[in-house]
Amino acid sequence: MRSYIIDKLYERVEKRGVVCVGLDTALEYVPEHIREGRTPAEAIFQFNKEIIDSTCDIAACFKVQIAYYEALGLEGLTAYKRTLDYLRKKDQIIIADIKRGDIAATAKMYAKAHFQGDFEADFITLSPYMGMDSIEPYLPYLESGNKGVFSLVRTSNKGAEDIEYLDTTFNKKVYEVVADKITEMGEDYIGECGYTAIGGVIGCTHVEEGKKIRANYNSMFFLIPGYGAQGGKAEDVALYLNNGNGGVVNSSRGILLAYKKENRAKEFSLCAREEVIKMRDAIREAVKRA
Amino acid sequence: MRSYIIDKLYERVEKRGVVCVGLDTALEYVPEHIREGRTPAEAIFQFNKEIIDSTCDIAACFKVQIAYYEALGLEGLTAYKRTLDYLRKKDQIIIADIKRGDIAATAKMYAKAHFQGDFEADFITLSPYMGMDSIEPYLPYLESGNKGVFSLVRTSNKGAEDIEYLDTTFNKKVYEVVADKITEMGEDYIGECGYTAIGGVIGCTHVEEGKKIRANYNSMFFLIPGYGAQGGKAEDVALYLNNGNGGVVNSSRGILLAYKKENRAKEFSLCAREEVIKMRDAIREAVKRA
């Protein structure tokens, strides 16, 4: 038994709760007073910085959705790098939500891109469509103990039915085949907490399957999107956790835009903090009841 | 019937042949005399520029693999942007090989990132794992007639067996389900050439299935990787084409590193040109024989 990055994430959840703050920051989310006198990329960074300052003692980790930054080109990716740098400076765990999926030399390049250098993160998300050789090139980094991945497994969008939910001829759905394969691959990277550094992205909206998935993949740490804005509730999420750990629950717009509900633009970061606490406590309560 | 970007690509193939030049440019591919006095990113751009100048009258299009540029961080993405800008200036068709796969607001951000602004390309590659709602957000751009996508369908790596080749309970493999779905979605974007602006990435190494795939998905334009360095041969490729059109065949290392076989580093761009011609003619001959 040795220590992996997943142990650090597990500890954070124990201490701070399961909330993963999603920095999917679109320019239109940023209040006017922050935008004033700043370029779009600077405004986005400043917004992120204040959200981070305000939530970093109560967030398990931060998930940064690179698409929002890519959309602003080189300037946007500069804001992305600055956000990652700031999170690292504050000793926060970073999940880079990049959903890259490629093989061989190309995957090695993505590993280099997102596990070192300008865009270094602690965890990255991956898409497994091309097969397990789209995950393997990242394993040497996991071996170091400092890095981890989350493979897409089963998501909560409507289109999940198109491929992830297809029934295969050996009595498993496609997403179950994926889950089986990454579980097997993850066995070599199980940390002291009992979870492996190869996690899975598991949407939380198919409530009826929650307990089954949790039981079947007990060594898999879940990255659970879809809370709040996408419809997931605390009661649903609780089913995907083991006594309130074994996963982190992401909310992006629900946290970043909490200020809009009460028209408190000047206090956007305080509103974000209140929302994280509300979400954390709602899930804690739901776990107790479950 | 109206005109789409796929018509332009079809025309290029008619005039120039099927070769897609893959600019998967790693720093170690760049000869010493180009690297001298340049930063890594500058050296990569200069190398690409000379390859483009030397092959742009005989290449159907260029595929730029973003992972190689992401690996060098912001500097690398500057070289990526400069490469795309240069290709556009030379009126070349650009396929951005990004294999992004996400949904809803995030996919819209990726569309914005790669269909306009700093990283604008003509075509992008996408991963369909999350379902058809990971393709739909790009359709408004296709509607304009100026943009197209290639969805991963069936690749030529070993891991393709893991998911793409799974048999589903309704007598189709996963990749066939994907191909059916994108074919259906593509029906609204069929150009004058008879192909749709929603193409498919189809590896060329499973020879026995070539004719069947070509016949079953007759409106689908194929992006065919795996030539040369990855083992595909002209005879194999010919089976995936309709009289030498209906697809482009990518080679990256085979073209970029042609100079290494003959130790002609100073003439790397001429060697690339010779390789493109050799590949183009070999496929033409194979099409005639097929």
Q: What is the pLDDT of residues B32-80, one digit of tens each?
A: 999 999 999 999 999 999 999 999 999 999 999 999 999 999 999 999 9
Which residues in chain B touch residue A167, judged by CB atoms under 8 angstroms apart?
A: 168-169
Residue B268 DSSP label: H
Query: In the prediction, which pLDDT does B1 show?
Result: 65
Q: What SS3 state is found at B149?
A: strand
Q: What is the pLDDT of residues B209-232, one digit of tens each?
A: 888 999 999 999 999 998 876 667
Which residues in chain B touch residue A102, judged by CB atoms under 8 angstroms apart?
A: 67, 99
Q: Residue A206 pLDDT > 80, yes or no? A: no
Helix (H) or strand (E) holding A33: helix A32-35
Is the separation of the CB atoms in A92 and A62 below 8 Å?
A: yes
Is the separation of the CB atoms in B289 and B265 below 8 Å?
A: no
Which residue range forms the structural domain that includes residue A282?
A: 5-289
A285: closest CA of chain B, how far (Å): 31
Q: Please indicate whether, in this complex, the C-beta atoms of B131 and A160 are within 8 angstroms of each other.
A: yes
Query: In the prediction, which pLDDT does A204 show?
Result: 84
Q: What is the pLDDT of residues A8-48, one digit of tens each?
A: 999 999 999 999 999 999 999 999 999 999 999 999 999 99
Output the average pLDDT for chain A. Answer: 96
Query: How would you label A111-125 residue by residue, b for 16+ Cβ within 10 Å and e otherwise?
Result: bbbbbebbbbbbbbb
Q: What is the pLDDT of residues A50-108, one digit of tens each?
A: 999 999 999 999 999 999 999 999 999 999 999 999 999 999 999 999 999 999 999 99
Q: Please indicate whether, in this complex, the C-beta atoms of B131 and A70 are within 8 angstroms of each other.
A: no
What pLDDT band is residue A1 in, cutting at 50, 70 and 90?
Answer: low
From the list B31, B128, B57, the residue with the least C-alpha distance to A128 is B128
Query: In the prediction, which pLDDT does B204 show?
Result: 84
Q: Residue B184 pLDDT > 80, yes or no? A: yes
Contact residues for B188 (Cβ-Cβ < 8 A; gap 6+) = none
Is the separation of the CB atoms in A285 and A235 below 8 Å?
A: no
- Say which CATH number the domain at B149 has: 3.20.20.70
Q: Residue B207 pLDDT > 90, yes or no? A: no
Helix (H) or strand (E) holding A116: none
Query: How would you label B96-126 residue by residue, b for 16+ Cβ within 10 Å and e otherwise?
Result: bbbbbbbbbbbbbbbbbbbbebbbbbbbbbb
Tell me how far apart the alpha carbons of residues B199 and B9 are, in angstroms, rounded to a whole number: 11
Q: What SS3 state is found at A252?
A: coil
Q: Residue B285 pLDDT > 70, yes or no? A: yes
Number of folded domains in chain A? 1
Query: Out of B49, B81, B89, B99, which one is annotated catalytic?
Result: B99
Query: In the prediction, which pLDDT does B230 show?
Result: 61
Tell me the Cα Rg of chain B: 18
The residue among A289 and A208 whose pLDDT is bigger is A289
Q: What is the pLDDT of residues A18-28, one digit of tens each?
A: 999 999 999 99
Nearest chain A residue to B78 by CA: give it. A74
- Give the pair of three-digit tokens for residue A21: 């703050």
Tell me how far apart the alpha carbons of residues B47 and B52 are, in angstroms, rounded to a whole number: 9
Residue of A68, A74, A113 with shortest CB distance to B70: A113
Tell me how far apart the alpha carbons of residues A131 and B286 are, in angstroms, rounded to a whole number: 31
Q: What share of chain A is helix, strand, coil (3-state, %, to 5)?
A: 55, 20, 30
B1: closest CA of chain A, how far (Å): 29
